[in-house]
Amino acid sequence: MNYESMPHSHAAEELLDMIGSGKAHVAHAQNLAQAMIRDGIPKEAVSAFASLGSFGQHPSNAERDLHRWLKGIFGMCLEPYYIDLLLETEDVDEDAGKPLTATKRIPVLLPHEIFAELHSSSAYQFGTSMLGHQTPNAIKEFWEHLQRFAPMDIKGHPALESCDLSELVPLLVHFDGAEMYRNAEYNIWSFSSVFSSMLDVKDHVHTEIAKLMSWSFKILQEGRFPDRGYYGEELLEKSSRGKSRGLPLAGGWKACFYGFRGDQKARRECHFFTRHYNCNLLCDQCVAIKPSKNMVRGMNYKNFSANAPFLLTTISHETYLNTTSASDLSPWTAMPGWRLENTFFDWMHVVLLGVGRDAVAAAIKLMVMRGLIGWDTKRADLKMLTLWIKKEYKSRKSFSVISLTPANAGLDPWTEYPELGTIFKAAQVKILIWGISRKLQEVVKRVQDEDLVRMALAMRGLSEAQSLLDNGGLKFTGSEARKFDEMVHLHLRTWQRLAVKFEDLLIPLCNIRPKHHYLQHLARYVLRTRINIRIHQNFDSESYMGKIKRIACKCHSTSMLLRVQQRYILYLALLWDRAKRASVGGDVRAKSLEDILLLEERKPFSSSAENAKRRCLRG
């Protein structure tokens, strides 16, 4: 029987949530459903879960049965589309000493179909996921702002010539790798709306994915379902894709490519850039260079002065096309609207997971050097510093941060440049930047030390810039953009002075890395475009990758690629149905499994059985 035709069951919905979000294996959910039946939960949907895999006699068939039963749940028409990719196998060609390759069919979810399903699910869900609750007028103003202040980013974009700007959603593409199983990394491409952001790979794989995304984004730009598939194949008339041929995607709404975001590794791998952090020419945006004997004076990327020569060598998209060989060109040149200028640097990776970690650790090390944190008592002093930051920050908002220790604060070994440990995630580094900046402001009022004053200025620059991003809207005013640029350069130039001084003293304290140079580009971008680069951050995309990884870890490795997408479709259907109910005032508050089992109205077999059940659940 169809799931929607069954009486609503909170228990069954929770089981579906557990499977879709990666909290449980299908076989585990089936066993749990059987236990619920034995405990007297007479729900038809729960019984259906219990019947999977022939009532548990064939657990390997449980997932197959689940997807057959729930296909099209809540009207969800999304289904995987298969593309052929040439991938490396585990076998090795002994003569060539290289892995053998084989063509494999890989399931993907097409962007234009996701966009259409989002619109079909409910106006509330589409407004949240794609529009960020922006009005059509606000969306039009965003595009007009880009045309005025960032014309090079969207120069020649075909979507702007033929679309109503008030119904055109700008999309960002993200790429990164995630380790699903031990020593097995999978690559994930995703896309998201600019507005919702406010709220080792073979070249041919990147090329094929770029072609597929370009094909799907052209459909998004046109606003209608395609007549044929990616390979030009006929679409079966009885299939959901065949029935949708030529129909509007999302009731008149369209979307287009706005930009690419990712960390430095993703930029290099996806776009085949020959200028990156591992090269002497370390930047794909200008000709800054790493220090060398034959270097032109002033071209050192560590030069943050206002008249640095490399600031006059900005590489335009046209220059990139004319000076790059065909074999080295980014495969994303096939994407309508892609330009070098809209391949964005990411504040999260550049600052919060980069220079911010260096700055916090260096500030702590300097306080140890000046005796503000005792050498023999540094573990206890760092714990007290963490507690002080927590106390100060709690007056603003609730948060959680790991306690600082000599090891995770980069004090061990002392003879190396300090850097916060990777145990600190981006959100925690943001809090530490704020807290250390505030602490240093307090310290310099009672301790006269030139280096501490400079470090306080460097930390204040980062903290103020972060505050502008967090508190600003989609677009900055001219004064906000100028202040952001000033605060970033305050950090860079003060950091540069500290680095030069301590390098002469042979003390490893302030390390200038390529990410400091990329930070300078971010500041110049904001000053030029007045765009709040918080929309380019990868927080939501990284969170999405975490969800996919959690689902993948509950799937068998041989069928993981397909099962992940099937489960994700089920999870989306559930979330969108909840959002639809919420938008019309339905009670969709998620309940824990304990609440479901204990509070769901039903007649218990006996008081002793009910008490025993409570004891089991509560441990």
Whether residue 96 is found in the same domain as residue 225: yes
In a domain, 193, yes or no: yes
CB atoms within 10 A of CB 400: 8
The chain-wide mean pLDDT, for the chain, equals: 87
Whether residue 237 is found in the same domain as residue 366: no
Whether residue 125 is found in the same domain as residue 209: yes
Which residue type sits at 352?
Answer: L
| Separation of alpha carbons 489 and 477, rounded Å | 19
Residue 317 · residue 333 · CB < 8 Å: no
Output the furthest CA–CA distance in the chain (Å, rounded).
87
In a domain, 565, yes or no: no
Residue 603 has pLDDT above 50, yes or no: no
Residue 612: its pLDDT value, please? 42
Mean pLDDT of 130-145: 92
Residue 606 has pLDDT above 60, yes or no: no
Q: Would you give the DSSP letter of residue 354? A: I
Q: Which pair of structure tokens corresponds to residue 562?
A: 């397909």
Give the closest residue to 476 by CA, choosing from 529, 527, 530, 524: 530
| Separation of alpha carbons 455 and 440, rounded Å | 8
pLDDT digits (tens, 9 = 90+) for 304-314: 998 999 999 99
In a domain, 548, yes or no: yes
User: Which residues in 452-472 are b (16+ Cβ under 10 Å) and which e?
Assistant: bebbbbbbbbbbbbbbbbeeb
Mean pLDDT of 428-436: 95
Which of 495, 528, 552 marks a domain boundary? 552
In a domain, 568, yes or no: no
- Residue 94's SS3 state is coil
| Separation of alpha carbons 100 and 1, rounded Å | 46
Residue 298: its pLDDT value, please? 83
Which residue type sits at 147?
Answer: Q
Which of 536, 568, 599 marks a domain boundary? 536
Beta 168-181 vs 184-193: how paired, if at all? antiparallel
In a domain, 572, yes or no: no
Beta 184-193 vs 343-344: how paired, if at all? unpaired
Q: Which pair of structure tokens corresponds to residue 473?
A: 């809207």
State the distance between the two ends of the chain, measured CA to CA, in whole angstroms: 36
Helix (H) or strand (E) holding 388: helix 378-394
Which residue intervals of 186-271 are DSSP H helices? 203-222, 240-243, 264-271
pLDDT digits (tens, 9 = 90+) for 161-199: 888 999 999 999 998 888 777 667 788 899 999 998 766
Whether residue 383 is found in the same domain as residue 471: yes
pLDDT digits (tens, 9 = 90+) for 316-341: 999 999 999 998 999 999 999 999 99
Residue 508 · residue 142 · CB < 8 Å: no
Give the closest residue to 216 by CA, choosing from 239, 191, 188, 247: 191
Domain count, the chain: 4
| Separation of alpha carbons 219 and 213, rounded Å | 10
Interhelix angle 111-121/203-222, rounded to 10 degrees, is 40
Whether residue 476 is found in the same domain as residue 520: yes
Kindly tell me the number of DSSP H helices and DSSP E strands found in the chain: 24, 6
In a domain, 576, yes or no: no
Which residue type sits at 160?
Answer: L
Residue 440: its pLDDT value, please? 96
pLDDT bracket for residue 381 (50, 70, 90): very high
Residue 13 has pLDDT above 50, yes or no: yes
Residue 201: its pLDDT value, please? 38
Whether residue 367 is found in the same domain as residue 496: yes
- Residue 72's SS3 state is coil
pLDDT bracket for residue 2 (50, 70, 90): confident
pLDDT digits (tens, 9 = 90+) for 458-504: 999 999 999 999 999 999 999 999 999 999 999 999 999 999 999 99
- Structural domain of 230: 81-264+542-552
Residue 395: its pLDDT value, please? 63
Residue 597 has pLDDT above 70, yes or no: no
Residue 616: its pLDDT value, please? 40
In a domain, 55, yes or no: yes
pLDDT bracket for residue 393 (50, 70, 90): confident
| Separation of alpha carbons 165 and 139, rounded Å | 7
Residue 388 has pLDDT above 50, yes or no: yes
Whether residue 283 is found in the same domain as residue 260: no
| Separation of alpha carbons 284 and 315, rounded Å | 7
| Separation of alpha carbons 171 and 194, rounded Å | 6
Residue 199: its pLDDT value, please? 62
Whether residue 306 is found in the same domain as residue 429: no
| Separation of alpha carbons 397 and 121, rounded Å | 34
pLDDT digits (tens, 9 = 90+) for 518-563: 999 999 999 999 999 999 988 888 888 888 888 888 888 778 888 8
Whether residue 56 is found in the same domain as residue 118: no
Whether residue 310 is found in the same domain as residue 258: no
| Separation of alpha carbons 264 and 284, rounded Å | 11
pLDDT bracket for residue 588 (50, 70, 90): very low
Q: Please tell me the pTM assigned to this model.
A: 0.77
Whether residue 115 is found in the same domain as residue 240: yes
Residue 464: its pLDDT value, please? 97
In a domain, 559, yes or no: no
| Whole-number percent of the chain with pLDDT over 90 | 57
Residue 204 has pLDDT above 80, yes or no: no
pLDDT bracket for residue 42 (50, 70, 90): confident
| Whole-number percent of the chain with pLDDT over 70 | 91
Whether residue 394 is found in the same domain as residue 476: yes
Which of 524, 552, 580 marks a domain boundary? 552
Mean pLDDT of 5-25: 88
β-pair partners for 344: 261
Which residue intervals of 75-197 are DSSP H helices? 111-121, 123-129, 136-149, 159-162
